[in-house]
């Protein structure tokens, strides 16, 4: 078939080339966009723990005692505080709480699980600066899985 001079439009090959280019651009963009979500998910868990630590310090100041899940729930009602043996996903606004005494020093461990698959924890001790820890690729995130003596740093790793 011959094409007439007054016909306008795109041929099937031109349309397929454009669709192919758009498909390649989308394939390049999807992994980049998915990787941008991971830091946001991590930040959600970290902020939840920082807010919980602030509530724990308020309890320590006002009551003079280490915060328990029940006391924290009374201080910060928007967060679900669970015991040390319970998994705590940050997406559900849950924080696992463990209290312990080692050598006469009271410790509080708060842990929450980011949707990115990382477990974040804060260790708070009497007369000491908070310490931080992260576990990558954890299947669970419970305050009871953290030791008070090892793996802590002065900032999020």
How would DSSP label each residue in 42-61?
HHHHHHHHHHHHHHHHHHHH
Q: Is the pLDDT of residue 7 over 80?
A: no
Provide CB contacts within 8 A for 44, sequence distance 6+.
Answer: 90, 91, 114, 115
Give the integer Cα–Cα distance in Å for 64 and 95. Answer: 22
Evaluate if residue 1 carries a pLDDT over 60.
no
Give the SS3 label for residue 105.
Answer: strand
Q: Which of 57, 153, 124 shows the shortest CA–CA distance to 135?
A: 153
pLDDT band at 156 (very low <50, low <70, confident <90, very high): confident
32-78 pLDDT tens trace: 887 888 888 899 999 999 999 999 999 988 888 778 899 999 888 89
Could you tell me how far CA 38 lies from the centroid of its own chain? 8
Give residue 51's pLDDT. Answer: 93
**pLDDT number for residue 31:** 85
Question: How many Cβ atoms from other residues are within 10 Å of residue 41's Cβ?
Answer: 17
Q: Burial-class residue 93 by CB neighbours within 10 Å (0-12, 13-18, 19+).
A: middle
Q: What is the 8-class DSSP label of residue 8?
A: -
Q: Model's pTM, two decimal places?
A: 0.78
Indicate the domain borders of the chain: 12-145
- For residues 113 and 97, the answer to whether their CB atoms sit within 8 Å is no
Q: Tens digits of per-residue pLDDT, 109-152?
A: 999 999 889 999 999 987 788 999 999 988 899 999 999 888 89
As a whole number of angstroms, the distance between CA 20 and CA 25 comes to 9
């Amino acid at each position: 078939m011959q094409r007439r001079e007054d016909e306008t439009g795109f041929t099937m090959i031109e349309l397929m080339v454009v669709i192919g280019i758009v498909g390649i651009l989308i394939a390049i963009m999807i992994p980049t966009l998915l990787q941008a979500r991971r830091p946001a998910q991590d930040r959600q868990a970290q902020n939840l723990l920082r807010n919980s630590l602030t509530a724990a310090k308020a309890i320590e100041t006002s009551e003079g005692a280490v915060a328990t899940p029940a006391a924290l729930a009374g201080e910060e009602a928007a967060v679900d505080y669970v015991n040390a043996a319970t998994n705590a996903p940050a997406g559900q606004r849950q924080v696992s709480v463990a209290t312990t005494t080692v050598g006469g020093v009271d410790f509080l461990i708060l842990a929450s699980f980011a949707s990115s698959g990382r477990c974040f924890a804060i260790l708070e001790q009497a007369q000491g600066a908070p310490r931080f820890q992260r576990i990558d690729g954890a299947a669970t995130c419970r305050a009871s899985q953290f030791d008070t003596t090892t793996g802590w740093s002065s900032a999020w790793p």
